[in-house]
Structure 1
Amino acid sequence: MHQPLHHHHHHHHTSIAHHHHHGSHHHGGHHHHAGAAHHHAGITHHHANHHHHHHHVGHQQHAHHGSNSYVVPNSSRPGYSSIMRHPDFPDGKVPDDYPMVATLHDLFQRALIVFPTAPFLGARQYNSTRKELGEYRWRTTREISELIDWFGSGLDQLYDKNVGRAPGFSPLHQTPLGIYSKNRMEWVVAEFAGFRARRFSVALYDTLSSDCVEHIVNHAQVPVIVCSIDKVATLLALKCTMPSLRVIISMDALGGGGSRGRGHAAAAAGFSSTAIRALHKHAEGLGVVLMDMMLVVEMGRAQPTIPKPPSASDICTICYTSGTTGPQKGVVSTHGNYVAAAKSLYHAMPLYHSTYLSFFTLASCFERSILYTGMLGGMRVGFFSGDVTHVSEDAQALKPTVMAGVPHLFNYIYHRITAATIYAPGLTGAMARTAIKQKLQKLESGKGGVKHNFWDRLVCNKIAQYFGGRLKLLISGGDPIDERVLGFLRVAVSCPVLESYGLGECCSAATACLLSDKTSGHVGVPLPGVDICLRDIPEMDYVTTSGLHPRGELLVRGPSVFLGYYRDEAKTHVALDGDWLATGDIATINDDGNIEIIDRKENVVRIREPFDQSVALEHLETIYSRHALVHDIFIYSDPDHADLVAVVVPDPEAFLPLARKITDQKSAPIEELAVSPQVISAMLVVLFQHGKKARLRTCEMITDIYCDPTPFDIEGNGLLTPTYKLKRRVAIQHYRSQIDHMYLSIKEKGPAA
């Protein structure tokens, strides 16, 4: 079972939600500087010529040779594969259905015109007497627009007074606005209030360690941060090492007069008036301006400012990657980048008038791209209440039609649902297993969709209730999702799962599966308007000319590709090959013309000695973690040894019965069983058989394992990034002695039979 993502139950409350004023004034007038490409010093610039075509040739369907991607004829060159495109847009041009939308500011202004009275953002209301969360309460596009105008006007005053034209911001001629909280209404209001005055957002992951917060705030020279009340103390504690920070705005009320219920909201977040007074005193001592969002809204209402809208070539965000290695890189993207991504994704994802549950962090490019895409179609967004372990309660209150997340979150949900269904004891489990098996067979035979009259009535409709029962689409982004989890969710929830792939460097928009595709194990085809090709990596035996299935590093080209890494020319130079983005992911093209990600470049290790073969560690970790015994796994390959060793966190549900049977100890604790030599060798046998079944090569088998009952997590042992990827370097340090010990014992035993 996964560790809960947040150990304390924390409800948040919009101080904004208790407040709305009627009567709307919105500013029309769109100022576009056509093609004004500002050359920002401090950012390595590479493409003034990203082709924004507005004309297009009719959608002629090309003959596909049984293939999903369209392959551009005669487009390969030495060291690179042919270029691939979306089958419906073979000339690489996508008709622009929204010519008035050139920036994210325009995107919101259009939503205001088209969907003014439609509910846009919602949050569950906290009932302070009953101490529980109730129904969702909605704000219309027009109400949110008012808040954006008022908060934006208040921000303008705060920047004028406290920030000025500090030298740190001169390279961009734009100033940053920091946002630091879990997903909530105020997050979106803050970002768009910044866009209103050409400010760009710098988002801080809710789960970041303090040294990462410090690195980002200093690197991007952030002067103002809008955050949830629980982050104020963290920021004040770091203020001495973050000289650029002048203003902290709490999304939650900081008490003191005003509307009734303000005190409650703060108290509900676990902050007494004494604690709040202490924060104010601390801020004063440090010379930091501390106020709550409602106060800034009131300032703006009293003195509205005139919007200074951005142009398409202006920066809209610097998104710091949750790097698995080294310090985080700041991905610089323009309004044009994100608007292009939204228009492209809108073709792939049916989000029109959908209801969306937002729970994967808005600090990631992926979640924001989906939010912006949905805004083209009047999607209403309900925010989770801050605790992923209770996401199904939010889903039951919201009844969403669309949800999105990364594979790790879907794995967590998969474990939660399977424990109560296919792994349940007795008849319940037996029925669920049969239902899932038969539905998968039907789906894989290509003869039917995800529905099944008999089994849905008996089993699967109950499972669908976990998400509120109205789900029409699950979107998985970031890394490739495990095929077993994908198949299970498709049939158990009777809902298509759309797999998409992309990096922050291209606004998370590179490829997505065609909705009609029932297969799994791939990330689909290039999105409309995106070009994809593969590049040889000869030192790793990946060549694009290898017969039917070219293999190589995936490259992406299109209007969503970023400007560069902020203040890092060297890394920008590595990431861009002309106007192609080098993703660092190794891919191949399968028989159907779908793109399959097989590994990350930095995790491919050459194994010496008897086999001179490349082994992709992440790929192996995915395969081994499919086994029921494995909750988490980290595989290590030493350059001086041919053997692979691994640290396995066993899944207690499967591990305890097996280990107790082997050792014949009915009540031994997991810590004791994990170190038993009998148990270790039994697990090695099981993993070996599993590897054989998955048709792994001999050099991909694990020779020795160390069992650790403590799961990998973000905060405790710090082995995972905020997006749940394994930090390989940290894991190597963390388990150094166990790794050395395993290699020592392998050496003593002699070569494995």
Structure 2
Amino acid sequence: MIQHYINANKVLSRAGSHSKPYYEAWAYDKAVEVGLIQIHKTLTLHRGATNYAKLHQQHKDATGKPITADTRDIVSDMDCYVPLGSVTCSDNPDHGLRTALLRLFPRAPADAKPTDAIESLRHLQLELKGAEATTLPAILDYAANKLGDAPCLGTRQILARERFVEDGKEREKMRLGEYTFLTYREVQDVVVKFASGLGHIGTGDSGRVAMFSETRAEWLMAALGCLRHRQAVVTVYTTLPDDNIVSSLNETEVRVVITSQQLLARTMALLPQCPAVKHVIVFEDQLEGIGTVAEDLGGVAVTPFQDVVDVHRDDRYLAYLPLAHVMELAAEMALLANNVVIMYGSPLTLTNNSPKVMSGTLGDTIVKGVNNVAQDQGFLKRKIFSKALEIKKKQSAPEFVNKILDFVVFNKVKEQLGGQVRLIVVGGAPLSADTHANIRALFGCNVLVGYGATETTACISAAVPSDQRTGHCGAPCYGVQLTLMDWEDGGYRTTDKPHPRGEILVAGPTVAKGYFRLPMVTQEAFVEHHGQRWYMTGDIGQIDDTGVLRIIDRKKDLVKLRDGEFLSLGDIETKLKTHPRCICVSVPSEDRLRKLTERLNLDSKRDFESLTQDPAVVAAVLKELQVYGMQQGLRQRDLPVGLFLNTKPWTPETGLVTAAFKIRRQALVDYFKEHISALYSKYEDPQ
């Protein structure tokens, strides 16, 4: 490696007084690393100062001879005064630490020696590293945990303001009060809540937020909130000419601009030239708030800073899934960390028309309940409801049209869930695209689909609110490694076109070590691949061009027919169970079944058991399921040719479904063995 540096002077170049091109900086660091350039530093206390010291840095070659270089060279010697707390002992000193960090550590005594300052910094570095405080938001968290209720940011009160015109210019004078302070903990709280509020507002795809405001406490808190939300901060000087401001906003393609009440009018005047900007967040004035805002803003929303901080602080989460299920446990822990109130309920009380037993997924049950109510209306109301639902599902109508439809049709539907639902998270079995679109249209809320397993601590992939597509489970979660593996028997390969397909394998810190005291089962489900331990999910996935995961099948759900072709039982169940007159293939809705019997001109007053055994009723239900299956995209061979109607619901107590209401297929086969055999015997080809 040393042969690349014949002598130290080879890496010197005229790079300007304060900058180095990337290669030159790299070469300089390498030269220091291999010893071709030696950095000699001398630190002496400045007379009379207790916090600053004089740092002299001199460069020498490998033999110890001083390197003579022009002041513009990147290795030029220097003298400067630096805070004791920011002196570093590394070979390539970084003077970026600010004096604010000195608050975290005792100030150096008057008789401090250079080594004391270096040890102080070493202590700081080790403490930050130990706390994993490697980002600016993390450093704030660290400071808040350490300093707690100590004063952090101070703002002087404005008691009164007087505006007047002088020399043709508008001026103002203020009567000021005392400083009021936010503690470190309060600042951290505002930053966390502002970051959460940004997530609700949506910052677009650019990954950037613009700051166009004068210096103030809110500026710093908003910037830290943006960074916490993983948004780069675009700083725009308030002294720039209007053309430069417009150029800055357009080049960075920001969707959100943060400004102050004093600059709001100027900002709004420039936005017609900035088509990407859709939201303006305003730091309030102490006396005037955000002031007067025009009604017609050209599609740009204006929100006070405090409203973003306070957004959804009254969020409440309805918990009804079994806490023994890892998804519910993980969700509730995450909500506790985000200051969300958890309210406990049960599937029996989920809606005003809740079924006695929750069968299938939340979305399927609710949508079928709404459809049942719609079917009970007159012909005209049913037509209006269906057309309104069709319009909202397309998501192409103007916003005012959706508001009219909500007012006329869907607000009553929303009341079934209390009228305030803004987010539904779905896990477990894949959610059909039709159910996803129906929920979103009916209740006017976001529906986020996640994918996980007990073996992965519920964490594999999750959709984000900004992605309005259906039928996928989002991209892999943070820290998760995901790959696909060929499954030749099922015909799924990673070389498939247009998108790779295969069994989903997951690795990472969330993956379990194995099954308790089940070494053989552990060996079957966990494999070593390229030096990494992977969990084989048994699910068949597809990754599209945008990097999101779609669950398209499950190995255990595939049944091989006599002709060698596979049927996907899971796919068939997912589509057929959304039929409004059937909770699942073998357990009908009693109310809907009686209405069907009336249409057949049969006696609908009989007991439920006798209705399910009537051949004419069974045939009518089977016909409806077949027609509905074709409408959902199933092939003719995917459709059931026989049907047994059972009156007993499938509950965890029966052992036919899990605690999360997932089907126990073998248990069902054993339970209904006689009825299944009887159905097969009625057909010549039992496929």
Q: Distance in 2 between matches of 1:593 and 1:99?
A: 29
SS in structure 2 of the partner of residue 381 of structure 1: strand
How far is the alpha carbon of 1:623 from its aligned partner?
Answer: 1.6
Aligned partners of 2:368 and 2:579 also within 8 Å? no
Aligned pair partner of 1:478 in 428, 435, 439: 428
How far is the alpha carbon of 1:366 from its aligned partner?
Answer: 0.7
Aligned pair partner of 1:737 in 674, 683, 686: 674
Aligned pair partner of 1:390 in 334, 340, 349: 349
* 1:615-663 C-alpha deviation (Å, 9 max, x unpaired): 1111111122222332212xxxxxxxxxxxxxx2223343333334336
Aligned pair partner of 1:524 in 462, 470, 474: 474
Q: Distance in 2 between matches of 1:738 and 1:706?
A: 7
Match of 2:368 in 1: 415
Q: Distance in 2 between matches of 1:438 and 1:393?
A: 26
Match of 1:432 in 2: 385
Structure 2 CA distance for partners of 1:374 and 1:110, relative to 1, 3 Å: farther
Question: Aligned runs of 1:38-187 on 2, under 5 Å?
Answer: none
Q: Which amino acid aligns with 1:437?
A: E
Q: Distance in 1 between matches of 2:146 and 2:655?
A: 41
SS in structure 2 of the partner of residue 516 of structure 1: coil
Q: Distance in 2 between matches of 1:493 and 1:687?
A: 26
How far is the alpha carbon of 1:560 from its aligned partner?
Answer: 1.4
How far is the alpha carbon of 1:727 from its aligned partner?
Answer: 1.2
Aligned partners of 2:317 and 2:340 also within 8 Å? yes
Match of 1:727 in 2: 664
Aligned partners of 2:499 and 2:542 also within 8 Å? yes
Aligned partners of 1:522 and 1:595 also within 8 Å? yes
SS in structure 1 of the partner of residue 350 of structure 2: helix
* Structure 2 segments unaligned to the other structure (5+ residues): 1-132, 150-184, 186-310
How far is the alpha carbon of 1:352 from its aligned partner?
Answer: 7.3
Question: Aligned runs of 1:663-742 on 2, under 5 Å?
Answer: 664-715=602-653, 717-742=654-679
Q: Distance in 1 between matches of 2:606 and 2:578?
A: 26
Match of 2:340 in 1: 379
Structure 2 CA distance for partners of 1:603 and 1:351, relative to 1, 3 Å: farther
Matched, 1:658 2:596: yes
Match of 2:454 in 1: 504
Q: Distance in 2 between matches of 1:537 and 1:580?
A: 16
SS in structure 2 of the partner of residue 630 of structure 1: coil
Question: Aligned runs of 1:236-247 on 2, under 5 Å?
Answer: none
SS in structure 1 of the partner of residue 367 of structure 2: helix
Q: Distance in 2 between matches of 1:702 and 1:710?
A: 21
Q: Which amino acid aligns with 1:526?
A: P
Normalised to the residue count of structure 1, the TM-score between the two structures is: 0.46
Q: Distance in 2 between matches of 1:98 and 1:630?
A: 51
Aligned partners of 1:531 and 1:558 also within 8 Å? yes
How far is the alpha carbon of 1:454 from its aligned partner?
Answer: 0.2
SS in structure 1 of the partner of residue 538 of structure 2: strand
SS in structure 1 of the partner of residue 594 of structure 2: helix
How far is the alpha carbon of 1:461 from its aligned partner?
Answer: 2.5
Q: Which amino acid aligns with 2:565?
A: Q
**Which segment drifts farther, 560-569 or 427-436?**
427-436
Q: Which amino acid aligns with 1:508?
A: A
Q: Distance in 1 between matches of 2:325 and 2:140?
A: 23
How far is the alpha carbon of 1:525 from its aligned partner?
Answer: 1.6
* 1:261-320 C-alpha deviation (Å, 9 max, x unpaired): xxxxxxxxxxxxxxxxxxxxxxxxxxxxxxxxxxxxxxxxxxxxxxxxxxxxxxxxxxxx
Aligned partners of 1:406 and 1:477 also within 8 Å? no
Q: Distance in 2 between matches of 1:394 and 1:623?
A: 23
Q: Distance in 2 between matches of 1:572 and 1:409?
A: 31
Q: Distance in 1 between matches of 2:584 and 2:686?
A: 27
Higher relative contact order (CA 8 A, sep 6+): 1
Structure 2 CA distance for partners of 1:420 and 1:705, relative to 1, 3 Å: closer
Larger Rg: 2
Matched, 1:616 2:554: no
Q: Distance in 1 between matches of 2:146 and 2:587?
A: 47
How far is the alpha carbon of 1:99 from its aligned partner?
Answer: 6.0
Aligned pair partner of 1:365 in 326, 331, 339: 326
Structure 2 CA distance for partners of 1:379 and 1:684, relative to 1, 3 Å: closer
Q: Which amino acid aligns with 2:578?
A: R
Match of 2:44 in 1: none
* 1:669-702 C-alpha deviation (Å, 9 max, x unpaired): 4432322333333333333333333333343222
SS in structure 2 of the partner of residue 703 of structure 1: coil
Aligned partners of 2:594 and 2:604 also within 8 Å? no
Match of 1:606 in 2: 560
Q: Number of paired residues? A: 387
* 1:310-348 C-alpha deviation (Å, 9 max, x unpaired): xxxxxxxxxxxxxxxxxxxxxxxxxxxxxxxxxxxxxxx
Aligned pair partner of 1:469 in 409, 416, 419: 419
Structure 2 CA distance for partners of 1:592 and 1:586, relative to 1, 3 Å: same
Structure 2 CA distance for partners of 1:100 and 1:424, relative to 1, 3 Å: farther
Q: Distance in 1 between matches of 2:145 and 2:366?
A: 36
* 1:219-252 C-alpha deviation (Å, 9 max, x unpaired): xxxxxxxxxxxxxxxxxxxxxxxxxxxxxxxxxx
How far is the alpha carbon of 1:665 from its aligned partner?
Answer: 3.2
Aligned partners of 2:541 and 2:549 also within 8 Å? yes
Question: Aligned runs of 1:244-643 on 2, under 5 Å?
Answer: 354-384=315-345, 387-392=346-351, 408-421=361-374, 423-425=376-378, 429-441=382-394, 443=395, 445=396, 452-578=402-528, 579-590=533-544, 593-608=547-562, 611-633=563-585
SS in structure 1 of the partner of residue 600 of structure 2: helix
Match of 2:277 in 1: none
Normalised to the residue count of structure 2, the TM-score between the two structures is: 0.51
Q: Which amino acid aligns with 1:536?
A: D
How far is the alpha carbon of 1:514 from its aligned partner?
Answer: 2.4
Aligned partners of 2:618 and 2:645 also within 8 Å? yes
Match of 1:220 in 2: none
Could you tell me the percent identity over the aligned residues? 26
Match of 2:64 in 1: none
Aligned partners of 2:611 and 2:617 also within 8 Å? yes
Structure 2 CA distance for partners of 1:674 and 1:509, relative to 1, 3 Å: same
Aligned partners of 1:631 and 1:711 also within 8 Å? no
Q: Distance in 2 between matches of 1:605 and 1:373?
A: 38
How far is the alpha carbon of 1:468 from its aligned partner?
Answer: 3.1
Structure 2 CA distance for partners of 1:412 and 1:699, relative to 1, 3 Å: closer
SS in structure 1 of the partner of residue 321 of structure 2: coil
* Structure 1 segments unaligned to the other structure (5+ residues): 1-93, 115-140, 142-349, 396-404, 634-647
Aligned partners of 1:406 and 1:478 also within 8 Å? no
* 1:455-499 C-alpha deviation (Å, 9 max, x unpaired): 112232333333333322111112212333322221111111111
How far is the alpha carbon of 1:751 from its aligned partner?
Answer: 7.8
Q: Distance in 1 between matches of 2:318 and 2:326?
A: 17
How far is the alpha carbon of 1:516 from its aligned partner?
Answer: 1.4
Match of 1:72 in 2: none
Q: Distance in 2 between matches of 1:372 and 1:412?
A: 26
Match of 2:683 in 1: 746
Aligned partners of 1:660 and 1:667 also within 8 Å? no
Aligned partners of 1:585 and 1:597 also within 8 Å? yes
Q: Which amino acid aligns with 2:466?
A: S
* 1:9-42 C-alpha deviation (Å, 9 max, x unpaired): xxxxxxxxxxxxxxxxxxxxxxxxxxxxxxxxxx
